């Protein structure tokens, strides 16, 4: 939903907004289904700080985001809102992203201002897809913070690769593989941080799932974003893939981003950020136990979609990028 512009920009909106909206993909998921996947754990409105919408990763859902990291959002003084994407975030990303587009539009309207969005792994990738192909969302998202996101794909593990090739995998795994048709379409000559939104990425050199995270082209980093490597802030720290979501550096970066214009800055992170492994508001013993059980909690077994090849890339993903933003537009 486009915000009503005030006098000085109204004329520009009348010319630009309809054209941008016309170029955006139409949402095809039944409208009655989308509200069922959005859950907020606190008030959303003009009288309270804007909420943070968190997008979970593959194999997870909104309830697990609350269990793992809910305390951090309470400590931030922000309402946590989550999305439970289809089939525990294993379905076709081209479908899942529609739920995110809907949620951003709804929450920004309820809040009466731009909101912040954050995501782990596939959730971070979906945020970028939404902001790339629905450029009108740039006026509704102030900050995007992604942790261990599969922006440029993941090599995964040898076991996963063999399984996908021999028995099939959920659509989302095919699409997040390095070199997938989905990622080739997304990353082909496009602005990696489109629109007015401020982008921050956080990654761990010891990520065992989404790789590579070091070297000249880390898969989770974005051109034009503030790209933070946890080990640059806390040398020697070992943080797992899922642990990146609740690492003290990630939570501090998210808190810094939502409190300031522009992306997070390492120079503004608390001096004691490396003295505790997890974000402020999270119980260390409980969080450690949750992460230790992650292989069972986020298992991809059960009644999940399995396909023998990557889903076809939809026509809207092949469209040229919208015009590059002007200097100072952010």
pLDDT band at 64 (very low <50, low <70, confident <90, very high): very high
Q: CATH number, domain at 71?
A: 3.40.50.1820
Percent of the chain with pLDDT over 70: 86
Tell me whether residue 9 is in a domain.
Answer: no
Helix axes 284-292, 62-76, angle to 10 degrees: 160
Mean pLDDT in the chain?
A: 89
- Which of these, 214, 222, 158, 171, lies nearest to 193 by C-alpha position? 222
Tell me whether residue 32 is in a domain.
Answer: yes
pLDDT band at 192 (very low <50, low <70, confident <90, very high): very high
* pLDDT value of position 114: 98
pLDDT band at 324 (very low <50, low <70, confident <90, very high): very low
Report d(CA 173, CA 277) in Å as an integer. 29
Tell me whether residue 7 is in a domain.
Answer: no
Partnered with residue 203 across adjacent β-strands are 229
Greater model confidence, 190 or 6: 190
Report d(CA 328, CA 2) in Å as an integer. 21
Q: Comparing 66-70, 161-165, 185-189, 205-209, which segment has the lowest mean pLDDT?
A: 161-165
Which tens digits make up the pLDDT trace of 45-54?
Answer: 999 999 999 9
Tell me whether residue 260 is in a domain.
Answer: yes
Report d(CA 138, CA 39) in Å as an integer. 22
Percent of the chain with pLDDT over 90: 79
- Residue 10, pLDDT > 70, answer no
Q: Comparing 8-12, 24-28, 269-273, 276-280, which segment has the lowest mean pLDDT?
A: 8-12
Q: Comparing 54-63, 206-215, 319-328, which segment has the lowest mean pLDDT?
A: 319-328
* pLDDT value of position 155: 79
pLDDT band at 19 (very low <50, low <70, confident <90, very high): very low
* pLDDT value of position 323: 54
Tell me whether residue 8 is in a domain.
Answer: no
Q: Which domain holds residue 92?
A: 25-308
Beta carbons of 138 and 131 less than 8 angstroms apart: yes
Tell me whether residue 329 is in a domain.
Answer: no
Which tens digits make up the pLDDT trace of 118-152?
Answer: 999 999 999 999 999 999 999 999 999 999 999 99
The predicted model gives 261-277 an average pLDDT of 98
Tell me whether residue 1 is in a domain.
Answer: no
* pLDDT value of position 220: 98
Tell me whether residue 72 is in a domain.
Answer: yes
* pLDDT value of position 322: 59
Number of domains in the chain: 1
What phi and psi, each to the nearest 5 degrees, are found at residue 84? -105, 100
């Amino acid at each position: 939903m486009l915000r009503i512009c005030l006098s000085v920009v109204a004329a520009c909106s009348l010319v630009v907004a309809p054209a941008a909206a016309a170029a955006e993909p139409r949402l095809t998921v039944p409208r009655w289904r989308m509200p069922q996947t959005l859950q907020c754990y606190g008030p959303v409105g003009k009288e309270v700080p804007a909420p943070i919408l968190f997008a979970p990763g593959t194999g997870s859902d909104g309830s697990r985001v609350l269990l793992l990291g809910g305390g951090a959002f309470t400590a931030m003084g922000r309402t946590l809102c989550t999305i439970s994407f289809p089939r525990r975030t294993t379905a076709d990303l081209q479908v899942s992203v529609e739920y995110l587009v809907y949620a951003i539009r709804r929450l920004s309207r309820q809040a009466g201002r731009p909101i912040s969005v954050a995501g782990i792994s596939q959730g971070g990738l979906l945020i970028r897809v939404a902001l790339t192909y629905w450029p009108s969302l740039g006026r509704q998202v102030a900050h995007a913070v992604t942790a261990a996101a599969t922006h440029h794909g993941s090599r995964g593990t040898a076991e996963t690769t063999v399984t996908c090739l021999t028995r099939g995998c959920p659509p989302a795994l095919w699409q997040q593989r390095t070199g997938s048709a989905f990622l080739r379409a997304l990353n082909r000559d496009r602005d990696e941080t489109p629109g007015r939104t401020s982008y921050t990425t956080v990654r761990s050199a010891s990520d065992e799932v989404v790789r590579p995270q070091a070297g000249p082209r880390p898969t989770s980093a974005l051109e034009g974003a503030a790209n933070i490597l946890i080990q640059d802030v806390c040398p020697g720290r070992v943080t797992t893939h899922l642990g990146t979501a609740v690492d003290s550096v990630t939570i501090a970066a998210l808190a810094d981003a939502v409190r300031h214009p522009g992306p997070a800055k390492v120079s503004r992170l608390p001096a004691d950020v490396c003295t505790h492994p997890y974000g402020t508001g999270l119980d260390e013993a409980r969080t450690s136990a949750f992460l230790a059980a992650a292989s069972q909690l986020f298992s991809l077994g059960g009644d999940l979609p399995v396909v023998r090849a990557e889903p076809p890339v939809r026509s809207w993903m092949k469209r040229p990028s919208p015009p590059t933003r002007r200097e100072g537009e952010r």
